[in-house]
Amino acid sequence: MHIENESYMHSSGRGADSHFKVVLVSDAFNGVRKVARHQMLYQLLAEELKNGIHALALHTYTLDEWQALEQQFPKSPNCLGVGQ
């Protein structure tokens, strides 16, 4: 699992702890559609999502999917609100 605080890339600014990217590789995702994978994580993180996390980018993979991607972490786009 890789968790990255990307708040600095958004208009919320550094220290806001409001935007996160999660990359999670697990055999628990075998045979599970991406939407269902995200739903699993939303259930686990329900309290955190209610209390300050504004955005959560989820990248969920089976081990085979992750190996096919050559274990490259997905890049995140800059927020349109940065600098405005």
- Where are the domains positioned within the chain? 2-69
| Mean pLDDT, residues 71-77 taken together | 77
pLDDT band for 48, please (50, 70, 90 cuts): confident
- CATH class for the domain made up of 2-69: alpha beta
- pLDDT beyond 90 at 17: no
The model's pTM is 0.77
- The H-or-E segment that residue 40 falls in is helix 34-44
| Mean pLDDT, residues 42-71 taken together | 88
pLDDT band for 16, please (50, 70, 90 cuts): low
Can you give the pLDDT at residue 28? 96
Q: Which residues contact 53 (CB under 8 A, 6 or more apart)?
A: 17, 18, 19, 20, 45
